[in-house]
Amino acid sequence: MDNTPNQAGPPEDQQPLSVGDVAQILRRRLWVLILVPLAISGSALAFSLLQRPTYEASATVLVGQQQGQGDSPARVEELQALIPSALEIITTRPVAEEATSGLDLAIDPEAVPENLSAEQTIESGQLIEVSYTDTDARRSEQLVNAVGEVASERISRLPMSAHDIKATVVEAARVPRTREEPDLLRNAILAGGLGTMIGFGLAFVGEVVDSSYGKPAKGPLENLVAFKPKEELKPSKEHNFRLQIPLYESAVVPLQGKQPPPEPFPGEPFVFNFEVPVHAVSVVDVNQKATAKGVTLRLDQVIDSPGRPRAVICYEPLDDKHSWLSYGGEGTFQGGWSTSDWSGTGSMRSIPPAKCQKLMLKSPAEGRTSFEVRMLEGWPDCDSIKEESAWQACMEKRYRTIRGPWRFEFKVQDLAGGAGPEREADD
């Protein structure tokens, strides 16, 4: 027997956002979309300005054959094969020490190779670009030119092939006029792009938070109350009921904290006297099995209540180390579990050791009906652990899930022509 007042149906599922909805959100959160990119760009620009600027100077070295060797010219392939060795020589510590010794610069030769680089300008070419980065523009120009000269002499003196090789600085470095790092424009643009993405994210997150918690409720608040009368009721168009609702206050405590007993709220309880029809609950025996991931579930029966349609799912527990719960998928309401907008489904009252559990269906069964069980969840026995981190570790180590889906499809006969079975649903 179902004593719940007739319902118009569950609240509508969350609908996807339309273009108009997105435009309204962006208009409401326009200040976020403007301030966040400006704040992040400004912070990046300020940080960049606080950094010490660096400058890069470059010189070009040509690796070729000594003049006057026309009788036995080196082949291009031989010259190109020498380039990797020449690149290694340029960035060595002895070259840096000799280059700095001829300059009146306050610089540690050991630190020069860290900021010195050499690379081939084009593949299969004979030109090498030597670059040096420094916080002083003039010093970077002097040092890279000195390195180019010293490296050219060392490369030319080494017996690297059967031919006389000559390395020459063909383009000396100039004092750089623009800083290499930090690039203020680039950093500001990147920070602005990142700030825009963060602003969009904050706008939508703020909208969700406001719609759920932040905005005060407007108009009357709604909730449903499930109650069971002391005596059995017969189906009838009208029954008189008296509903008395006292109010209590409960403290909010941290996880695993001790909950103090609720205290009565000042004032008299709410009392309602009303008349509602009482309908017989049709219990449909199905006895249908479905198997997924090696686990078989059985749809025992459907309690086809107008207000609280439920499916009774039975299965053997997978082990004795977990408390197993079932979660509904397509065709169930809110995963089959109760919410503040519906009365209890019975799932919480039928957890193990019971072998059958009830899942709330999305609507009463009419004609051919189907629904899915989405997942089985195994909760370990961690209740004896009081320390939060140890409890969390226990859950992460022992928690199990088995995902289906298990799909059931059945047909409900039209009972309009005769009286249907009337059985008290076991809650």
Mean of pLDDT over the chain: 76
Multiple choice CATH, 55-171, 2.60.40.680, 2.40.30.10, 3.50.50.60, 3.30.70.1130: 3.30.70.1130
Distance from C-alpha of 359 to C-alpha of 346, rounded to nearest angstrom: 8
Tens of pLDDT, residue by residue over 42-81, are 888 888 777 788 888 888 888 877 655 545 555 566 667 7
pLDDT at 373 over 90: yes
Tens of pLDDT, residue by residue over 235-273, are 888 788 888 888 877 777 665 567 778 788 778 888 888
Q: Assign 10 a pLDDT band (cuts: 50, 70, 90).
A: very low
Res 289: pLDDT: 94
pTM over 0.75: no
Residue 384 has phi, psi (to 5 degrees) of: -75, -10
Boundaries of CATH 3.30.70.1130 in the chain? 55-171
- Give the tokens for residue 239: 């029954």
Mean pLDDT score, 97-108: 80
Tens of pLDDT, residue by residue over 170-215, are 888 888 877 777 777 888 888 888 888 998 888 888 777 766 554 5
Which of 422 and 256 is assigned the larger pLDDT?
Answer: 256
CA dihedral 32, 34, 40, 42 (to 10 degrees): -140
- 172-187 b/e with 16+ CB inside 10 Å = b? ebeebeebbbbeeeeb
3-state secondary structure at position 283: strand
Residue 402 CA to chain centroid, in angstroms?
A: 22
pLDDT at 366 over 70: yes
Tens of pLDDT, residue by residue over 125-139, are 788 899 988 888 888
| Beta-strand relationship, 55-65 and 116-120 | unpaired
| Beta-strand relationship, 127-134 and 116-120 | antiparallel
Res 408: pLDDT: 95
| Cβ contacts of 340 within 8 Å, gap of 6 or more | 223
- Would you say domain 282-412 falls under CATH 1.10.1220? no
List, in sequence order, every beta strand (DSSP E) within 216-355. Answer: 236-245, 248-249, 263-264, 270-278, 282-292, 295-304, 310-314, 322-328
pLDDT at 158 over 90: no
Res 288: pLDDT: 93
Boundaries of CATH 2.60.40 in the chain? 282-412
Alpha helices in 256-411 (DSSP H): 388-398
**Degrees (nearest 5) of the Cα angle 171, 173, 176?**
145
pLDDT at 113 over 70: yes
Region of 9 on the Ramachandran plot (φ > 0 left; ψ -120 to 50 alpha; else beta): left
Residue 286 has phi, psi (to 5 degrees) of: -115, -55
